[in-house]
Amino acid sequence: MKFPRFRMLAPGLMLALAVALAGAAFAQQAPATPPLPPRPTLIDAPVPPPPSFDAKSWVLMDYATGRILASKDPEKRVVPASITKIMTDYVVSAEIAAGKVGLNDKVYISKHAWQAGGAGTDGSTSFLKVNSQVPLKDLLYGMIIQSGNDAAIALAEHVAGSESAFADLMNAYAKQLGMTGTHYSNASGYPVPDHYTTARDVAVLSRALIHNFPADYAISKIKEFTWDGITQHNRNTLLWRDPSVDGIKTGHTKEAGYCLAASAKRGNQRLIAVVMGATTERGRADDAQALLNYGFRFYETHDVYPAGKALSTPRLWKGEADALPIGLASPAVVTIPRGQYKQLKPVMDIPDPLIAPFSKGQKIGTLRITLHGKTVLEQPLVALADAPEGGFFARLWDTILLWFHHGKDDKASS
């Protein structure tokens, strides 16, 4: 009996065939890989509420716009304690800028400054010696970093002749800044009945200090200061916790509780947190830190339009030129919930027709920026150049053209 003849396959080919058959069998038995879930769509949710604290009042303010992002009883009248020294610092800085006093002035330490704010009191002190003379710059450092009551009183007496006269200056500057809920009776924050402020006013004042006197404000980020061999640390513990924090001032008395005005800058955004009447020293720092973190997490600042750039060049009638460049005298800056920039809608309200003359800087119209139908910025539009009247024939010709211009508009609206 003859058997059919089979050709012998090469060993390598046989192995490949076996592997292929095994792979096919495995593919039939192995379960299919489950599909990946779809990518999540980001939810455009509203900004969540700010954290809650047991402090008497607090405010979170955006520095660029002055907008209050979150608050609790911002207008509540509270005792400021050494937060008062922010205004003392502001007044002294303003007087320096005006040339009335100087950083190198020798300041006399009176018996009143020594008794009311010196080592014999319960308050903070720079340990100044009675009847000595101290450079004004060192007193500023002692007041801002060490919170020296004696330094604050000595500065007040040097600037205004007496602490009571200096308090009058403080109240005048408060009125100028729009601090409607504040009244000062002394330079140190010593508790007296007619000495009070609000969290909002402290934020307003802090913003003005940072903006108007940045070199002086920079002192508040220094962590320690030594005077007459005694080194004292800055009481703002956030300076050690958060490198973005660079000021501002602490305060504490039994009646006031623990207070803190803090400011931080991250990227191009600066925020100001004011906590008044916390129950513990650590609590005021924790509360201010939580407010700053909340603000930076959920809000962002944008420079929308620069100052001095033409945003529109509408037709100018009866002028030497045919068009008038219109823009902003100061930059347009908005602080909005994070991720909402593309939803901003700018509108320029410009009267029509524009008839010369106009002077540079004269208000022409209004820039209004809205977010979801709510106005987040309203700013004047101004002429960016002088626009004098044209000659007689130019004005006559434009008068004729205006007649046709209005007639065309009337037909379009009928």
28 has pLDDT over 80: no
What's the chain's average pLDDT? Answer: 89
Q: Is 233 exposed, middle or buried (0-12, 13-18, 19+ CB in 10 A)?
A: middle
Compute the distance between CA of residue 114 and CA of residue 151 in angstroms, rounded to an integer: 9
> What residue type is assigned to position 335 of the chain?
T
Using pLDDT thresholds of 50, 70 and 90, give the confidence band for residue 92.
Answer: very high
> What residue type is assigned to position 264 of the chain?
A
In 242-324, alpha helices (H): 281-298
Residue in 355, 367, 361 with CA at minimum distance from that of residue 385: 361
Residues 75/198, Cβ–Cβ less than 8 Å: yes
> What residue type is assigned to position 45 of the chain?
A
Q: What is the mean pLDDT of residues 125-146?
A: 96
Active site residues: 82, 85, 147
42 has pLDDT over 60: no
Show the tokens assigned to 166: 């200096």
410 has pLDDT over 80: no
Task: Quote the pLDDT of residue 406.
Answer: 63
Residues 199/70, Cβ–Cβ less than 8 Å: no
* Residue 127, SS3 per DSSP: coil
Compute the distance between CA of residue 286 and CA of residue 290 in angstroms, rounded to an integer: 6
38 has pLDDT over 80: no
- Give bridge partners of residue 245 from the DSSP assignment: 264
Distances (CA, A) of 175 to 170, 171, 341: 9, 6, 35
Show the tokens assigned to 246: 């660079």
Compute the distance between CA of residue 139 and CA of residue 155 in angstroms, rounded to an integer: 7
Domains of the chain are: 57-300 (3.40.710.10), 306-413 (2.60.410.10)
255 has pLDDT over 90: yes
φ and ψ at 129, to 5 degrees?
-95, 135
Residues 333/303, Cβ–Cβ less than 8 Å: yes
Task: Quote the pLDDT of residue 414.
Answer: 40
Least confident of 252-256, 327-331, 358-362, 385-389: 385-389
pLDDT tens digits along 203-240: 999 999 999 999 999 999 999 999 999 999 999 999 99
φ and ψ at 181, to 5 degrees?
-115, 25
pTM more than 0.95: no
Using pLDDT thresholds of 50, 70 and 90, give the confidence band for residue 100.
Answer: very high
